[in-house]
Amino acid sequence: MRFILLSLITCLIFLCFGNVPIHAQTDIATNDLNRYVISSNYPIQDVFGNTEILRHNAEKITIHDLLEGSREFRFEPLTEDVISEDNVVWLHLALDPKLSLKNQQIVFKSNNDTYRYATPHDSIQVYYVHQGKIIDSTRSGIFVPASEKKLPFPANRSTFPVSLTKDEPVDFYIKIFDQNKIYPRMELRDPSIPFPQNTSSFWLSAFALILSIYVLAFFFYTKDRSYLYLFGFYAFIAIYEQFVESNLPLLELFFSEIPKASIIVWITLTLGSKVFFMQFGRKFTNLKAISPLWDKIVIGIIGYFILAIVIQLVMLSNGINPLDSYQFIFAGLGFLGVLIVTLRLLFFKDILLRYFAVSSIWSFIFSILGILWENGIIPFWNDVNPWIIANTGLMFILALAIARKLQFSERAKSEIEKVREIDAVKSRFFANISHEFRTPLSLILGPVNQSIENIPASENIGNETEIPVKGKHLKVMKRNALRLQHLVDQILDLSKLDQGEMQLRVQAGDLIKFLRAIIFSFESLTELKHIDFHTRFPKKIADTYFDRDKLEKLLVNLISNAIKFTPEHGEVSVVVEDNLKGIKIVVSDTGNGMSSEEVNKIFDRFYQTEGSHVQGTGIGLALVKELVTLYRGQIHVDSVEGEGTTFKVIIPYRKSDFKASEIVFSETELTVNSHFETMVFEDSEDVSEENIPNLNLPLLLIVEDNPDLREYIAEQMREDFRIETAKDGAQGLKLAKAHIPDIIISDVMMPKMSGTALCEAIKTTSITSHIPVILLTAKADQKARLDGLETGADDYITKPFEKRELLIRAQNLISQRANLREKFTSELKIKPTDVTLTSMDERFVKQVMHEIEQNIGNEFYSVEDLSSAIGFSRSQLNRKLKSLLGKSPNQMIREFRLIRAKEMLEQKSASVSEIAYEVGYSNLSYFSKSYKDTFGMLPSEV
């Protein structure tokens, strides 16, 4: 509404200070009343004062009636610039030339020189009369075909040619028809003198054309149909201003003989532009979602405009000119409907609707002013007229609306990205927490199932059946049940904080004693991990108040987090200081540290440091931050990559720092909650009894960061495998290269190197590429399985798992390797020089055979030479060949030489001694013995 008031004030200023149009200079020659005497060749001569008019029954009067001189048809002096009551008039102009004039023009002038200097009429009929006789005639006007005009162009000027001979008077009888208004003011004009040009229409047209191209490109980019409708609206404005308001060049070029074309264009552009405008407003503002009722009303108005166009075109095709009077009825009703709708839309709270409504109201106000100005009722600026202000302002307001919508769109995209990011973080959280739940569940369900399996099949397990469970298993089950309880407690605490259900409950107590009890309980854990643990406390702080539960949870998360991320032989320190703002607790570690970007996110809900692969839910530090906020304390983090991290927490402890409702006066014994046990013993390992390994069993490497689960898997597989264990992927890869196990069982989420990264490294290293890998993980979704299998994993098992399933799958993979070994062995015996190879293992075998073949004649060629050429150590080469072919390198070299010798003997290519020497045997008797041991006959018998 303020925008509309500002527009009205602007209009009043224009009305008060607008300049009055300046008329063309007139001739100063002396004239009598009935005849204009031309005594000079001044290029522009106004003949208004010597023009006579006949209005009564002008439509029925013919030129012959006038020339007969009947008294019934009397002309009167012309006194009006504009005639609006009559549609047909006769004008009479008598010229008395005192000099000769060639190729001059009579031009009908508008009453607004600066807007439209030469005015058009629908049609005019001109008769040239000399001494009472018609000497010539011509026609002009917009609706007159060009072939009937002596001056056919431009069509939007009512002009006719004049050539005068000295002292030969000429009378001009002019019959004018116009549906709207007749402008009878005429001037005698030299056509070489240019007409005043109003360039504002050109620039407005150019501006609208540029905008139309821009929004059309915007439509193709955004696929938003509202911009397609806006393109149509701008294009119609550009066409109207350039081709209708200017000189109708396209109509003159292509439709000069069809005057009705201009009517069609005028009707289509004026009403069609409103169709595009209203349709644009609907789609641009999403009016249907805001108000279905008003959306239907707008659709009705759009339908009305389309119907009005169709009706008027039908009328035109039947010989009725709708511009006579119907156009104003159709247009007036439609524009009134648009005004009512946009006034109502202005009161909606939607900002885009208001932009659209303001643009429409702006256009309406200045269009009314334009009509008044065009008719000379009000003064205004010449170039920047109301029509220009109406359309330019409308386009400017719509440009602002588009900019605002783009701003909303960018915000929406940003919010969508944030939602996607939050969803991704939540997905990681659920993956992590499922891992956290599945691991202890495996360690609880595994011993339970094993105990049940130990019951003889003949016994029925009832409610009273006693099932023996090993003490070691009970400890593992209890430890992991407490761990599950701790995870659930953290999630519930966050939920309570979100809902505002968690409140501070502080009470008086010895704060330093309480902090010591919590902090020193971590000593056993740091000893197990070989971490130096340093502490420092003030001696005593008097009159302290604190919330035991909140402070314990806060400290437990901070310290356990520091220990978790600190490697063996690192350092963790906890320093407690009395601070003016409260108690200051500083927890530092010498772990890997974090980047500045990670530091800014670690308190975000569900966030987990990328690439760490450390087990965790990502809610511990988020809970710490929420608890510090609840405590009205402060927390700050400093971290340097490769050096470590320091958390600084300041917690108030004075009675005056808390509200009366937060203080509890009941005494409570200072104890540490039982769930803390899970944090202390989480990484402890039970020492199992040493069994003498059976060297004939396959070697199994177990890679698992959870010590309880690692020991549990080893215990279940020990009867069928020799066991090696690793606590992370990096250590697992090192052990795999050193021992070349027969099979590997690996967790997926581990520190330093994940299970998928380990699997990929195993499968892309020639030393270990043959080793089957089973991935063991809590991620049970299809994508996780595919990711694991794509890295080359041979099998994929989710937690919690059945002991028998894991054993069977491992044994199946061992059997498959045995079958593959037989395949290679058979291929080697059949044709050692031409084995088809595709996989890495087959390429390895081919490389070994190639090296042996290249050195087959060298009797001193040894296993050391072969392993050096392959790039393996002797033990690695021996393990690899044993796994693939069941043969040692020495056996490979020996069998290869003898098979080649057999081929040569069968081909009779040389003597026995020559063949023996060629395949690396210098001792003929040893060659004969070896040949007979392998093939059951002497070389000489072949």
Which CATH number do you get for residue 181? 2.60.40.2380
**Whether the Cβ atoms of residue 863 and residue 894 lie closer than 8 Å to each other:** no
The rounded distance, in Å, linking the Cα atoms of 777 and 796 is: 8
Instruction: State the pLDDT at residue 251.
Output: 62
In a domain, residue 17? The reply is: no
- Same-domain pairing of 803 and 835: no
State the CATH number of the domain containing residue 873: 1.10.10.60
Work out the burial of residue 689: count CB atoms within 10 Å of its CB; fewer than 13 is exposed, 13-18 middle, 19 or more buried. exposed
Query: Would you list the DSSP string of 126-159?
Result: EEEEETTEEEEEEEESTTS-GGGBSS-S-TTS-E
Instruction: State the pLDDT at residue 229.
Output: 94
Nearest one of 18, 190, 182, 20 to 113, comparing CA atoms: 20
The rounded distance, in Å, linking the Cα atoms of 15 and 7 is: 12
Of 397, 413, 429, the last residue of a domain is: 413
Q: Is the peptide bond before 154 cis (omega within 30 degrees of 0)?
A: yes
Q: Is the peptide bond before 152 cis (omega within 30 degrees of 0)?
A: no
- Same-domain pairing of 166 and 213: no
- Same-domain pairing of 842 and 808: no
What Cα–Cα distance (Å) separates residue 718 from each residue in 388, 692, 698? 93, 11, 10
Q: H-helix or E-strand containing 327?
A: helix 326-345
Instruction: State the pLDDT at residue 575.
Output: 94
In a domain, residue 15? The reply is: no
Indicate the number of domains in the chain: 5
Instruction: State the pLDDT at residue 587.
Output: 94
C-alpha angle 697-701-702 in degrees, rounded to nearest 5:
125
In a domain, residue 484? The reply is: no
Provide the residue range defining the domain that includes 206.
Answer: 200-413
In a domain, residue 741? The reply is: yes
Q: What is the largest CA-CA distance in the chain?
A: 158
State the CATH number of the domain containing residue 732: 3.40.50.2300
- Same-domain pairing of 242 and 274: yes
pTM of the predicted model as reported, rounded to 2 decimal places: 0.48
In a domain, residue 577? The reply is: yes
Query: Would you list the DSSP string of 804-837?
Result: HHHHHHHHHHHHHHHHHHHHHHHHHHH-TT----
Of 130, 160, 189, the last residue of a domain is: 189
The residue behind tokens 């210098």 is: 922
Q: H-helix or E-strand containing 702?
A: strand 699-703
Query: Residue 935 is encoded by which pair of tokens?
Result: 């093939």
Nearest one of 502, 465, 444, 770 to 631, comparing CA atoms: 502
- Same-domain pairing of 582 and 726: no
| Cα 208 from chain centroid (whole Å) | 31
- Same-domain pairing of 895 and 811: no
Instruction: State the pLDDT at residue 610.
Output: 45
Instruction: State the pLDDT at residue 169.
Output: 93
Query: Residue 641 is encoded by which pair of tokens?
Result: 């990559």
In a domain, residue 457? The reply is: no
The rounded distance, in Å, linking the Cα atoms of 783 and 91 is: 92
Instruction: State the pLDDT at residue 685.
Output: 44
- Same-domain pairing of 558 and 510: yes
In a domain, residue 22? The reply is: no
Instruction: State the pLDDT at residue 27.
Output: 35
The rounded distance, in Å, linking the Cα atoms of 615 and 429 is: 11
Instruction: State the pLDDT at residue 95.
Output: 93
**Whether the Cβ atoms of residue 152 and residue 146 lie closer than 8 Å to each other:** yes
The rounded distance, in Å, linking the Cα atoms of 384 and 904 is: 108
Instruction: State the pLDDT at residue 97.
Output: 93
- Same-domain pairing of 290 and 173: no
**Whether the Cβ atoms of residue 653 and residue 663 lie closer than 8 Å to each other:** no
Question: In this structure, which amino acid lies at residue 654?
Answer: R
- Same-domain pairing of 767 and 854: no
- Same-domain pairing of 206 and 148: no
Work out the burial of residue 574: count CB atoms within 10 Å of its CB; fewer than 13 is exposed, 13-18 middle, 19 or more buried. buried
Instruction: State the pLDDT at residue 592.
Output: 84
- Same-domain pairing of 172 and 305: no
Of 189, 224, 250, the last residue of a domain is: 189
Number of DSSP helices (H) and strands (E) in the chain, helices first: 29, 23
Query: Residue 597 is encoded by which pair of tokens?
Result: 């970007």
- Same-domain pairing of 185 and 204: no
Nearest one of 378, 389, 13, 359 to 201, comparing CA atoms: 389
In a domain, residue 292? The reply is: yes
Instruction: State the pLDDT at residue 823.
Output: 60
124: left (phi over 0), alpha (psi -120 to 50) or beta: beta
CB within 8 A of 387, min separation 6: which ones? 366, 367, 370, 374
Q: Which residues of 360-397 are buried (b: 16+ CB within 10 A; e: fewer)?
A: bbbbbbbbebbeebbeeebbbbbeebbbbbbbbbbbeb
pLDDT under 50: residue ranges of the chain: 1-33, 246, 609-617, 668-691, 828, 830-838
What Cα–Cα distance (Å) separates residue 346 from each residue in 198, 275, 904? 34, 19, 103
465: left (phi over 0), alpha (psi -120 to 50) or beta: beta
The rounded distance, in Å, linking the Cα atoms of 510 and 653 is: 11
Q: H-helix or E-strand containing 427?
A: helix 386-453
The rounded distance, in Å, linking the Cα atoms of 588 and 601 is: 19
State the CATH number of the domain containing residue 561: 3.30.565.10
**Whether the Cβ atoms of residue 568 and residue 530 lie closer than 8 Å to each other:** yes
What Cα–Cα distance (Å) separates residue 672 from each residue in 507, 556, 668? 16, 10, 12
